[in-house]
Amino acid sequence: YYNPAGVVYATGKKISASANAYYTTSKSYKSALGSSNWNRNSSTLLPNFFGIIQPIGKGVLGLSYAVPDSIIEDQDETFDNITSTISKFTINFNKQDTTYLFGPSYAQEIKDGLSLGATLYFHYRRKKVINNQHIVYADSSTYLSNVVDEREELGLRPMIGVMWSPPNLKYSFGMTISRTFVYDETIYIQTINKAQAASTAAFTRTTLNIKREYPWNINFGAAYFPSDSLLFSGDVSYYTSVKDDFGERVSVVNIAVGTEYYPSSTLALKGGFFTNVANTGKISAGDSGKNENIDLYGISLSATTFTRSTSLTLGTVYGFGSGRAQINNADPTAIQNVSATSLLIFIGTSYAF
């Protein structure tokens, strides 16, 4: 999943691995409803990785399944007396957005310490958003907005990787390049909107077959082994800019650094720090209905125990960040400051035989 060239260095003739995770997020849109904050929470429990590798001839064949993104948000709230002109605001919001990857990998050592690998993932993404907003004003007039947005993507995500671990040295280097290519996408959007001054609601239904463009992703990584019990690593990930029918995404660079310490041959302690910078572009005064822009940062901690043929990992990842958004359907030019946190708790296992 990260670099297919690395599977040639896995210990054991056959290895299977799996991971299950509980993921929860919280976002607070500051003063989005008068002086009140607008809070959204998400939680999901899912198997987010499974993989197996098998030596084939001079190389190693792998097969893996991954869920890199999964969001489930649900909100049903009513706010009273938000401002002097709004006596009641009701929102019903539900969002489900999950991406699945499944496919084979192959890697081979072309000379001592240098390996090449490739992965071809089948990409499937399903997204459904239902957003109902109802406002009752102080003069008893009303505003109503109902949006149903359903999207389904089918595509391929090829990845090519290289890894160089010079013999008898304490360094290792890696590089990957990948991109998702969508070959079929269906979008269904239904809206019901009644402006405050209108006596009836307007209804629209739209079906689109436009395709999302994903950025190229280029990764560079390095690791340093000062001793048999200590490892330091770092990764730089570059995403290109993209412009399509969905808008424009800017180019971004993310980094990750980590360390592993082995106090014994049966225990590993790991920690890391990473960034997750938004590629949606900054939101400024005068913008309308733009995608939210939240830059995130994360810290990870885990512990792994080993036996001769198995390993068990328990870990957690905490994320935090802030940014801006425009989420009010009645006033799409309004800008809200956003704070976000996330917590991931995961358990992983592997078995070599």
Name the E strands within 57-112.
Answer: 59-80, 86-111
Q: CA-to-CA distance for 208 and 206, rounded, in angstroms?
A: 7
pLDDT at position 247: 83
pLDDT at 329: 66
Mean pLDDT for 264-285 is: 93
Query: Tokens 């940062």 map to which residue?
Result: 297
How far, CA to CA in Å, does 273 sit from each of 22, 48, 245, 278, 319? 20, 21, 34, 17, 10
Q: State percent of the chain over pLDDT 90.
A: 64
Cβ pair 161, 182 in contact under 8 A: no
pLDDT averaged over every residue in the chain: 91
Span of 37-41, 111-115, 117-121 with lowest mean pLDDT = 37-41
Q: What is the DSSP string of 139-206?
A: TS-EEEEEEEEEEEEEEEEEEEEEEE--TTSSEEEEEEEE--EEEEEEEEEEEEEE-TT-SS-EEEEE
Q: Is the pLDDT of residue 32 over 90?
A: no
Helix (H, G, I), strand (E, B) or coil at 115: strand
Predicted confidence band of residue 324 (pLDDT cuts 50, 70, 90): very high
Q: Which of 89, 57, 55, 59 is nearest to 75 (CA)?
A: 89
